[in-house]
Homo-oligomer: A and B are copies of this chain.
Amino acid sequence: RYQLFSQCFEHVCVAIDQIYKRLCRNTSAQAFLSPENPEEPYLEGINYNCVSPGKRFMPMDNLSGGEKSIAALALVFAVNSYRPAPFFVMDEVDAALDNTNIGKVTSYIREQSREDFQMIVISLKEEFYSQADSLLGVYPEFDGGMCSHILSLDLTPFPLT
């Protein structure tokens, strides 16, 4: 049992730094996972810190909202890479991201969805959903109450903006 934990932990430690560098498109970015108790990591907590491009090492509390979102995505993708699920579902994860970071995240997702996992993302931002292979448009119909309907549109024939 402890064996499994350490195996998983070592794998994710390595993966998270690589994924964070790729998400930030910058090799000076760093992501660290450090156990409070290095001998037996499963007994206590695990700390997570990120160094965003151009900045120095600082506690996670000091990061801005957008910087925290990128750090969270790196952790989620790294944890998944240990036992890869066939697909991912994310609901408005781009809410705190500026357009530059949206570009970085969507190109990472396009690369990964070709090889590894299928991606389903709910988004309100055109900068984000214009990068998808297919759009599923949900619209409400009001007759007394509200009920949802759906249209689907294949974007692959159109050139990427």
Show the binding face of A for B, using Cβ within 8 Å: 54-56, 65, 92, 95-99, 124-125, 140, 142, 145-146
- Residues of chain B within 8 A of A142, CB atoms compared: 54-55
Tell me, rounded to whole Å, the shortest Cβ–Cβ distance linking A60 to chain B: 16
- Residues of chain B within 8 A of A124, CB atoms compared: 96-99
In the complex, what residue of chain B is closest to A52 when comparing beta carbons? B146
- Residues of chain B within 8 A of A54, CB atoms compared: 140, 142, 146
Q: Which 7 A-B pairs have the closest CB atoms?
A: A95-B95, A54-B142, A98-B124, A55-B146, A56-B145, A54-B146, A95-B96
In the complex, what residue of chain B is closest to A101 when comparing beta carbons? B124
In the complex the two chains form, what is the Cα distance from A56 to B145 in whole Å? 7
In the complex the two chains form, what is the Cα distance from A124 to B98 in whole Å? 6
Tell me, rounded to whole Å, the shortest Cβ–Cβ distance linking A153 to chain B: 18
In the complex, what residue of chain B is closest to A144 when comparing beta carbons? B56
In the complex, what residue of chain B is closest to A54 when comparing beta carbons? B142
Selected contact of A65 from candidates B92, B96, B140, B145, CB within 8 Å: B92
In the complex, what residue of chain B is closest to A146 when comparing beta carbons? B55
- Residues of chain B within 8 A of A99, CB atoms compared: 124
In the complex the two chains form, what is the Cα distance from A118 to B81 in whole Å? 49
